[in-house]
């Protein structure tokens, strides 16, 4: 309960910082139209009044916050002229789906690889996996996406970019459409997932080695427990810290993939947010940032709860 | 029931018989045996923000509404730019040139309702002349009367099929501006508007509208929008154009716009044959052409004579009102600006920056624009000649040099200025680098000031720069670019003291204008109210010459338009004159 209450001032604080940062960006939504001879200076003035951009920043911020608190209204997008929540909602489905699949992919492979590495430390398998992980970590996502797309095309694949082949976009769901989706989906999952893989894997490996060397394992061995049971205890213990960083992973996947999504032409929120940022579509940007912030906080909260379930010694007060 | 069906059948036949069709011309439909059906696959860079072009400033909306979905009263021919009938089948002009009566075609909306003068008047009242509509065109339809007072053009209904426009004075560019006014359906939109809040027009037919609600008078109507993925349009069964055999256009059943934000992905899809037609950047042209010539590609690419407003021709400007008094005096000297043009290596820029795909002799007007281009400016362009540039600089007294070889003002200060350039598109920077390199050779130091585009726009807009590189698009009629090239306007940014910003609307300040600027101002005013095309051309010919003689700005070059077509697209390609031939209603799948 206390944790949840703390989130409120926290969100407020974050919103102020985000607002200041978006204000610091030179120009505003209307500066892109200054050079357009079709739009007269008078019209820009009219628009400025309509969008309340003529008011000082702190006033706009207060109006925005007031509408959120009193009406749950996060404001309008300057360019789409629709409520920002609606616009974000429209694009959230695929974002969440891809994020969850990506995280699933990361975790599955990271833990498996971590466990394998830790059980065979400083041997060829360990080194190979580490190198693979670090390569994924160090290559920029967009570049990896381009390379993989190029390789797929070279090897005769045609299913590149987007989530569906053009003929399936908008058609009702069918078996053929699902297969088509699977053909497209692996690429973004691998591209986005690979970057976080190394980090998670190293954490898992380190934890495993720590736990393997800890006295309670020695004690278990001394009592003659079989190696399989010991391993189960070790893995359970080693998973602990991994769960606590799980909360961080969701917003990372959400926000860290903007460029990859642009390159892969995914209908996620990332490219949309990027465009809003370039256009100074302030309320859209703000709402998205707040959304990421709240996801992070909820993620952390959930991680804590999961941790408590995994390890009864930790208690949430 | 039977009787009902019969009457419905009779009704539809009578509609078909009473409709008055326009026969699309040979230039757009040269091929002998077109085929019907299939899907035309195009591309958009982003999800359209709206289906109402007057409620938004979004370019994707313009791409889908202006032409594919809606039609104007009069049309500009896509190849020749000539004005021709569209929803208005004919019109008559009164002898004083101030009343134009339009006779509307017997044509129907996609839902079967007739298109009437009410739709025209509605479109003007609530959108075109509504100052709260984001994409209004009030300025284009407001002109001075005989006493010089700005007045709006008025529209009155004569009967269901006749509307009359009352002009305050004759208006030369009237049909050109009218060809950009697309007519919207009153019967669908009027109920959605809050009459007490005219800003409400911006909130109708947004991207979340059910496509079934949208009624069109162009060749295609929307059926489905999948956010950030695809927009699907379907043939409008009531489109009012036919081909030369009398068959109703368009040929395609559907258009599918793929929504692809990233330029490289668009290109990849085009190369894979998934996109039938799109604009190609000059950077990609050599690679695409090479592959095309090697055979086996599903596409062909053409570089055409520029006939589009974009890419904008790049120009170099020197701020006549710059703070630094010495620079101000220098920039105002014609010899200096002439020297700058002599030092501009256009040929090298075209070859290195534009891969040879640009023309040097376009700026104010395009050579392909036969109605207004003045070929005399080709002789007026000063060719790259550093010796001449040096001589001119010596002549205006900048003879002393410092140890590094830079010229000095009489006060002993080095002749140097900042050149303001936006960081994208990259071509601007490349032009700036080449220019600065050549100026170094004639003893002038240039400091490049490369900044983010929106910041640069603000600095230009505030007159806060010394010299700059910028670009503005062309238009078929100079009247449409009056807001840029006439002294005393907001976009005449290199000489802001010609404008009094304290008045609304801003007023020209004649005492701060050079004589040639006064003449340019006058030429625009005369060209605006002249209805005789020959006299108008004479005014604008003089305007073009003045710009090249006195160099308020120095034009660098204009990129050619490059287009890629799928090979199996019919009625698409180049005309004999090297112009683009493609419309969504005349192309077909071979």
Percent of chain B with pLDDT over 90: 58
pLDDT tens-digit readout, B116-125? 999 999 999 9
- Interface membership of B223 toward A (CB under 8 Å): no
- Residue-wise pLDDT for B487-500, tens only, equals 988 889 999 999 98
Tell me which chain A residue has its CA closest to the CA of residue B141: A38
Return phi, psi of residue A62, to 5°: -65, -40
Residue B296: pLDDT over 70? yes
A104 pLDDT above the threshold of 90: no
Q: Distance (Å, rounded) from C-alpha B265 to C-alpha B490?
A: 38
The top-scoring range by mean pLDDT among A160-174, A239-253, B110-124 is B110-124
CA B497 to chain A, closest CA, distance in angstroms equals 17
* Cβ pair A161:B55 closer than 8 A: no
Residue among A6, A3, A23, A31 nearest A64 (CA): A23
**DSSP 8-state secondary structure symbol assigned to residue B384:** P
Has residue B431 got a pLDDT over 90? yes
Is B207 in contact with A80 (Cβ distance < 8 A)? Answer: yes
Chain A contact probe: residue of B39, B55, B57 with most A CBs at under 10 A: B57
Residues of B in Cβ contact (< 8 Å) with A146 = 264
Question: Which of A43, A272, A281 best tests the B interface by mutation, with the highest count of B CBs <10 A?
Answer: A43
Residue-wise pLDDT for B45-79, tens only, equals 889 999 999 988 888 999 999 999 999 999 988 88
Q: B 322-341 residues with CB below 8 A of A?
A: none
Contact across the interface for B457 and A37, Cβ inside 8 Å: no
Is the previous residue joined to A40 through a cis bond, with omega within 30 degrees of 0?
no
The rounded Cα B100 to chain-centroid distance in angstroms is 25
Query: Which of the four pLDDT bands, split at 50, 70 and 90, describes residue B516?
Result: very high
Q: Does B222 touch chain A (CB under 8 A)?
A: no
Residue with structure tokens 């996801």?
A295
Contact flag A170-B230 (C-beta cutoff 8 Å) = yes
Pull the structure tokens for residue B242.
Answer: 């036919």
Whether the CB-CB separation of B182 and B53 falls below 8 Å is answered with yes
Task: Please count the residues of chain B.
Answer: 590
The nearest CA of chain B is from the CA of A150 a distance in Å of 10
Which residue of A31, A91, A163 is in closest CB contact with B457?
A31
Q: Tell me the angle at which helices A175-213 and A124-138 cross, rounded to the nearest 10 degrees.
A: 120
Nearest to A267 among B208, B227, B272 (CB): B227
DSSP letter at B126 equals I
Residue in A31, A79, A271 closest to B458 by CB: A31
Average pLDDT over chain B, rounded to an integer: 89
What residues of B are in contact with residue A265 (Cβ under 8 Å)? 260-262, 265
Could you say which DSSP state residue A72 is in? -
- Closest CA of chain B from A14, distance in Å: 26
CA distance B530 to A203: 78
CA B40 from chain centre, in angstroms, equals: 24
Q: Is B234 on the interface with A (CB under 8 A)?
A: no
Three-class DSSP category at A107: helix
pLDDT of residue A159: 63
- Residue B10 in this model has a pLDDT that exceeds 60: no
The predicted-structure confidence for A21-65, as pLDDT tens digits, reads as follows 888 877 778 877 777 767 777 778 888 887 888 888 888 888 888
| B429-458 residues touching A, CB cutoff 8 A | 452, 454-455, 457-458
- The answer to whether the complex's ipTM is over 0.85 is no
Q: Which of B264, B455, B483 sits opposite A27 (nearest CB)?
A: B455
Give the pLDDT score at B18.
Answer: 61
How far is residue A32's CA from residue B337's CA, in Å, rounded to a whole number? 30
Tell me the two tokens of residue A226: 């079989």
| Unique residue bearing structure tokens 């000063």 | B382
pLDDT digits (tens, 9 = 90+) for B18-45: 678 888 888 898 888 899 999 999 999 8
Residue A72: predicted pLDDT: 80
Q: Which residues of B touch A259 (CB under 8 A)?
A: none
Q: What is the pLDDT of residues A264-284, one digit of tens each?
A: 888 888 888 888 888 888 888
Burial of B324 per CB tally in 10 Å (0-12, 13-18, 19+): middle
DSSP string, A210-248: HHHHSHHHHHHHHTT--HHHHHHHHHHHHHHHHHHTHHH
Cβ contacts from A onto B, under 8 A? 120
Local confidence band at B14 (pLDDT 50, 70, 90 cut-offs): very low
Per mean pLDDT, which of A115-119, A212-216, B115-119, B574-578 is the most reliable? Answer: B115-119
How do B314-318 and B467-471 pair as beta strands? antiparallel
Token pair, residue B104, equals: 């509307």
pLDDT band at B134 (very low <50, low <70, confident <90, very high): confident
Which residues on A lie below 8 Å from B207 (Cβ)?
A: 80, 82
How is residue B273 annotated by DSSP? T
Band (pLDDT 50/70/90 cuts) for residue B11 is very low
- Kindly state the average pLDDT of the residues B414-421: 94
Q: How far is A32 from chain B (nearest CA, A)?
A: 7
Mutate to test the interface with B, among A23, A26, A94 (most CBs of B within 10 A): A26
For B136, name the nearest residue in chain A, comparing CA atoms only. Answer: A39
Q: How far is A261 from chain B (nearest CA, A)?
A: 9
Residue with tokens 């500066």: A31
**Confidence (pLDDT) at A157:** 67
Q: Taking CB atoms and an 8 Å limit, are A46 and B131 in contact across chains?
A: yes
Higher pLDDT, A159 or B440: B440
How far off is chain B from A188, nearest CA to CA, in Å?
A: 14
d(CA A262, nearest CA chain B) in Å: 6
> Is the model's pLDDT at B371 over the cut of 80?
yes
Check pLDDT > 60 for residue B545: yes
Predicted confidence (pLDDT) at residue B103 exceeds the cutoff of 90: yes
**Angle A171-A175-A178 from CA coordinates, rounded to 5°:** 70
Residues in A closer than 8 angstroms to B272, CB to CB, are 153, 158
User: What's the pLDDT tens digit per position in B159-207?
Assistant: 999 999 999 988 888 998 899 999 999 999 999 999 888 888 988 999 8
Contact A149 B230 (CB under 8 A): no
Share of chain A above pLDDT 90, in %: 0
Residue B129 is predicted with a pLDDT of 92
């Amino acid at each position: 309960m206390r944790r949840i209450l703390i989130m409120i001032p926290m969100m407020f604080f974050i919103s102020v910082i985000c607002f200041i940062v978006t204000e610091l960006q030179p120009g505003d939504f209307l500066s892109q139209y200054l050079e357009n001879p079709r739009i007269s200076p008078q019209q820009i003035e009219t628009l400025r009044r309509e969008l309340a951009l003529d008011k000082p920043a702190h006033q706009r911020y207060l109006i925005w916050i007031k509408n959120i608190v009193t009406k749950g209204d996060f404001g309008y997008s300057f360019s789409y002229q629709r409520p920002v929540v609606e616009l974000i909602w429209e694009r959230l489905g695929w974002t969440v789906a891809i994020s969850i699949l990506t995280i699933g992919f990361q975790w599955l492979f990271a833990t498996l690889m971590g466990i394998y590495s830790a059980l065979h430390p400083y041997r060829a398998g360990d080194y190979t996996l580490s190198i693979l992980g670090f390569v994924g970590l160090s290559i920029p996502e967009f570049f990896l996406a381009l390379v993989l797309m190029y390789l797929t095309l070279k090897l005769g694949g045609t299913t590149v970019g987007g989530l569906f082949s053009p003929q399936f976009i908008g058609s009702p769901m069918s078996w053929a459409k699902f297969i088509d989706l699977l053909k497209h989906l692996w690429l973004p999952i691998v591209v986005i997932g690979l970057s976080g893989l190394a980090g998670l894997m190293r954490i898992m490996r380190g934890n495993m080695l720590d736990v393997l060397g800890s006295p309670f394992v020695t004690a278990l061995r001394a009592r003659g427990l079989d190696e399989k049971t010991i391993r189960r205890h070790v893995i359970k213990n080693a998973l602990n810290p991994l769960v606590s960083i799980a909360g961080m992973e969701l917003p990372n996947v959400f926000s860290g993939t903007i460029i990859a999504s642009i390159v892969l032409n995914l209908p996620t929120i990332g490219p949309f947010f990027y465009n809003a940022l370039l256009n100074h579509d302030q309320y859209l940007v703000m709402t998205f940032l707040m959304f990421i912030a709240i996801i992070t906080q909820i993620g952390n909260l959930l991680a804590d709860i999961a941790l408590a379930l995994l390890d009864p010694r930790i208690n949430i007060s | 029931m039977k009787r009902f069906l019969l009457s419905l059948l009779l009704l539809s036949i009578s509609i078909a018989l009473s409709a008055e069709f326009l026969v699309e011309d040979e230039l757009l439909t040269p091929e002998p045996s077109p085929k019907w059906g299939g899907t035309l696959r195009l591309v958009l860079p982003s999800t359209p923000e709206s289906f109402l072009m007057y409620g938004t400033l979004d370019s994707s909306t313009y791409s889908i509404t202006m032409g594919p979905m809606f039609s104007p009263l009069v049309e500009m021919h896509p190849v020749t730019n000539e004005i021709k009938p569209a929803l208005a089948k004919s019109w008559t002009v009164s002898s004083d040139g101030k009343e134009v009566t339009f006779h509307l075609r017997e044509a129907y909306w996609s839902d079967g309702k007739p298109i009437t003068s009410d739709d025209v008047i509605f479109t003007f009242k609530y959108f075109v002349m509504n100052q709260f509509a984001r994409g209004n065109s009030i300025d284009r339809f407001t002109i001075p009367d005989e006493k010089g007072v700005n007045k709006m053009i008025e529209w009155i209904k004569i009967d269901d099929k006749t509307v009359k426009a009352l002009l305050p004075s004759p208006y030369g560019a009237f049909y050109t501006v009218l060809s950009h006014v697309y007519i919207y359906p009153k019967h669908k939109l009027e109920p959605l508007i809050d009459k007490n809040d005219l800003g409400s027009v911006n909130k109708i037919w947004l991207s979340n509208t059910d496509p079934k609600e949208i009624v069109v008078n162009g060749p295609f109507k929307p059926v489905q929008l999948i956010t950030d993925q695809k927009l699907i349009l379907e043939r409008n069964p009531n489109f009012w154009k036919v081909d030369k055999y009398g068959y109703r256009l368009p040929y395609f059943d559907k258009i599918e716009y793929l929504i692809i934000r990233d330029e490289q992905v668009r290109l990849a899809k085009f190369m894979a044959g998934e996109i039938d037609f799109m604009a190609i950047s000059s950077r990609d042209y050599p690679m695409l052409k090479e592959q095309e010539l090697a055979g086996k590609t599903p596409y062909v690419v053409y570089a055409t004579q520029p006939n589009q407003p974009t890419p904008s021709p790049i120009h170099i400007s020197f701020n006549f009102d710059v703070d630094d008094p010495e620079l101000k005096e220098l920039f105002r000297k014609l010899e200096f600006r002439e020297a700058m043009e002599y030092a501009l290596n256009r040929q090298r820029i075209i070859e290195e920056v534009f891969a040879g795909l640009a023309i040097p002799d376009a700026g104010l007007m395009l050579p392909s624009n036969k109605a207004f281009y003045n070929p005399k400016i080709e002789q007026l362009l000063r060719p790259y000649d550093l010796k001449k540039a040096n001589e001119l600089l010596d002549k205006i007294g900048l003879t002393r040099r410092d140890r590094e070889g830079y010229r000095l003002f009489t006060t002993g200060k080095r002749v140097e200025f900042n050149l303001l350039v936006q960081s994208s598109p990259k071509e601007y920077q490349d032009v700036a680098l080449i220019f600065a390199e050549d100026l170094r050779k004639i003893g002038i130091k240039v400091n490049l000031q490369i900044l983010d585009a929106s910041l640069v726009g603000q600095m230009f807009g505030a007159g806060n720069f010394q010299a700059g590189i910028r670009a503005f698009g062309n238009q078929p009629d100079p009247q449409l670019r009056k807001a840029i090239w006439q002294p005393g306007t907001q976009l005449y940014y290199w000489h802001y003291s010609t404008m009094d910003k304290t008045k609304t609307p801003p007023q020209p300040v004649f005492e701060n204008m050079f004589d040639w600027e006064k003449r340019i101002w006058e030429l625009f005013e005369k060209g605006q109210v002249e209805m005789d095309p020959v006299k108008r051309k004479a005014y604008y010919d003089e305007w073009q010459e003045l710009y090249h003689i006195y160099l308020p700005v120095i034009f660098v070059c204009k990129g050619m338009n490059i287009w890629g077509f799928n090979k199996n697209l019919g009625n698409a390609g180049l005309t004999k004159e090297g112009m683009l031939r493609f419309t969504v209603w005349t192309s077909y799948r071979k």
